Amino acid sequence: MDPVTITFLVVGVLLIASEALHPSLVQVFFGAAALLVAGLRALGVVDSVSTSLLLWGFTSLGLTLPLRPMLKRYFKTGEAKHDLSNEDKDAMGEIVEVLEAVDDTGPNGRIRFQGTTWSAQCTDGSIPKGGHARLVYKDKLVWIVEAVSALEAAPERVPAADQLSDKEKDKVKA
C-alpha cells in the first residue's frame, strides 16, 4: 500500500475513535469517508491524491448532512446542557398551577409561577388544565415540569398542639 492510502486509513480510524472523546457524530462520518477513500485507493479505483481529497470531502459532507440529524435522535451526543441561574435552581421542586394543559410533545402548555405565566413542557405524559406540576428545570424560557398528585399539591396543614385553643384540644381528644 502506498503512504497516502495508509494515511487515509490511519486518519479514518483516529477520527472514528475520537468520537468517544467528544461525541458529536461528525468525526464518525469524516472517518468513515476516509476509510472509504482508503478502500477505493487500495482497490485501485482512485489513484491521484487530489481526487482522493475531493472524494473524501464530498463523501464526508454527503454522509454528515443527511445522516447526523437522523442519528442524533437515537444517540445522546452530550450537547444538551442546562445552565441554570441561581433563581432557577432555587425554584426547582416548587409546585405550580397549570393554566393550559401541559404535555411532553412540546412547550405548548402554560403554568403560573412567580406572578406570571410561563411556557411549559411535561417530562412524561400530560397534566390537565387546573392541575398542579413540580418545576424540574428551565430550558431557555420554557419550564420543564412533572405531574404531582393532589395530596402533594395542597397538603393539609395540621397546627401544632401548643397552637390549639382549649376547645380545639377537647375536640381532638374526643
Report the C-alpha dihedral over residues 9, 10, 12, 13, rounded to 10 degrees.
120
Task: Report CA 91 to chain centroid distance, whole Å.
Answer: 20
pLDDT computed for residue 158 by the predictor? 45
Complete domains list, the chain, with CATH: 3-72 (no CATH), 86-153 (2.40.50.140)
More reliable by pLDDT, 41 or 172: 41
Q: Which of the pair, 173 or 90, is modelled with greater confidence?
A: 90
- Predicted pLDDT at 62: 93
| pLDDT for residue 40 | 95
User: What is the C-alpha separation between 60 and 83, in angstroms, rounded?
Assistant: 32
pLDDT > 70 in the chain, percent: 79
Question: In angstroms, rounded to a whole number, what is the distance separating the alpha carbons of residues 166 and 3?
Answer: 96
Please choose, from the candidates 74, 78, 132, the residue with its C-alpha nearest in 3D space to the C-alpha of residue 101.
132
User: What gap in Å lies between CA 77 and CA 105, rounded to an integer?
Assistant: 21
Q: Distance (Å, rounded) from C-alpha 85 to C-alpha 108?
A: 23
Q: What does DSSP assign to residue 148?
A: -
pLDDT in tens, 33-66: 999 999 999 999 999 999 999 999 999 999 989 9
- pLDDT band (50, 70, 90) for residue 157: very low
With cut-offs at 50, 70 and 90, classify the pLDDT of residue 78. low
